[in-house]
């Protein structure tokens, strides 16, 4: 069994305040849970409601930091956000999907400009070590009927190039971030990379879905991904009004492999927690083996009339 936990915050423009808030909610959520825990934080959870230039200024070095390095002044200076997340995971003995953190390109990534960062979703294990990293692939370059109106994430964010899975005793977990949720093919592709050739047991979706798009599509998309992949979906969203006037939808929640919403927190800060096992997941996949019914390719035969 595993405890799936989704944390919802109203992220603002001060890193320390956001991290303190997250830490308090994590401690509270994990205190009542026994056994394995998977905690998911929202996108941009350490800093939100600021310009792309401000995010770039807070971008950290892509080091494999851990809580054991807290005493090393150089490491702390280079990666204070990563150090905090590592410590939170270790103290609560959980897998922590730490939303997204702006990350500088590595020295080998010479094609990435100095004026861009990766929106990296870092995952820490119960010992505080970094176990996975996913760089957001689909960037939010859209127009929305809200106060912001136009979003151009690609101006300062470099798109990632690959998917990311990590293992728990409960099964494999697939990573995604926010706008990725709209691209069903991305999630369907994960089955090609899992050890058993099935969809992952859990999909995590750290997000900052806007109030307008969230109201229109958030639950529809989450439910669709859970049904299509017959897996649990843990979605963590930002909520409320932020420093730049942007408004996010909240409604952080957990969906079952049958598409049921198991728990939800709507328009306030806090968390939801659900203890699950693989019994229902296994039964659903056995009775309706969607994955084995998929075709490798689909063709159209055009007939003349």
Of the CA atoms within 13 Å of residue 126, those in its CB half-sphere come to: 10
Q: Please confirm, yes or no, whether 43 is among the known catalytic residues.
A: yes
Pair 248, 211: CB distance under 8 Å: yes
Pair 298, 256: CB distance under 8 Å: no
- Residue 15: what are its φ and ψ, rounded to 5°? -60, -50
Catalytic residue from among 136, 172, 211, 253: 136
Among 75, 46, 49, CA closest to 62: 75
The answer for 74, left when phi > 0, alpha when psi is -120 to 50, beta otherwise, is alpha
- 132 by Cβ neighbours in 10 Å (0-12 / 13-18 / 19+) ranks as middle
Residue 212 vs residues 9, 13, 236, 245, 250: alpha-carbon distances, Å: 18, 22, 17, 14, 11
Among 45, 37, 40, CA closest to 17: 45
Q: How far apart are CA 196 and CA 35, in angstroms?
A: 24
Q: Please confirm, yes or no, whether 64 is among the known catalytic residues.
A: no
Catalytic residue from among 44, 178, 231, 253: 178
Structure-block tokens of residue 94: 């959980």
Helix axis angle for 80-92 and 15-31, nearest 10°, is: 10
Q: How far apart are CA 81 and CA 99, in angstroms?
A: 12
Catalytic residue from among 43, 60, 172, 269: 43
- Residue 176: what are its φ and ψ, rounded to 5°? -155, 170
Q: Which residues are catalytic?
A: 43, 136, 178
């Amino acid at each position: 069994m595993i405890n799936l936990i989704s944390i919802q915050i109203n992220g603002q423009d001060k890193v320390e305040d956001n991290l303190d808030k997250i830490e308090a909610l994590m401690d509270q959520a994990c205190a009542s849970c026994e056994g394995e825990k998977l905690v998911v934080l929202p996108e941009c959870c350490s800093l939100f409601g600021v310009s792309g230039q401000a995010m770039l200024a807070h971008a950290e070095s892509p080091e494999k930091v851990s809580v054991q390095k807290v005493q090393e002044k150089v490491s702390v200076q280079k990666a204070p956000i990563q150090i905090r997340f590592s410590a939170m995971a270790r103290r609560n003995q959980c897998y922590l999907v730490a939303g997204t953190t702006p990350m500088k390109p590595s020295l080998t990534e010479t094609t990435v400009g100095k004026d861009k960062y990766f929106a990296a979703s870092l995952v820490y294990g119960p010992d505080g070590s970094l176990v996975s990293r996913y760089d957001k692939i689909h960037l939010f370059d859209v127009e929305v009927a809200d106060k912001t109106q136009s979003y151009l994430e690609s101006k300062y964010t470099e798109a990632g190039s690959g998917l990311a899975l990590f293992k728990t005793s409960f099964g494999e977990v697939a990573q995604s971030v926010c706008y990725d949720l709209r691209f069903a093919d991305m999630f369907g592709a994960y089955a090609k990379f899992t050890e058993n050739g099935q969809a992952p047991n859990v999909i995590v979706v750290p997000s900052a879905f806007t109030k307008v798009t969230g109201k229109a599509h958030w639950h529809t998309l989450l439910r669709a991904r859970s049904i299509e992949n017959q897996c649990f979906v843990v979605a963590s969203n930002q909520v409320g009004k932020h420093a730049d006037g942007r408004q996010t939808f909240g409604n952080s929640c957990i969906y079952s492999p049958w598409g049921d919403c198991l728990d939800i927190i709507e328009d306030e800060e806090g968390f939801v927690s659900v203890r699950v096992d693989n019994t229902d997941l296994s039964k659903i996949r056995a009775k309706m083996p969607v994955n084995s019914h998929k075709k490798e390719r689909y063709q159209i035969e055009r007939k003349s009339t």
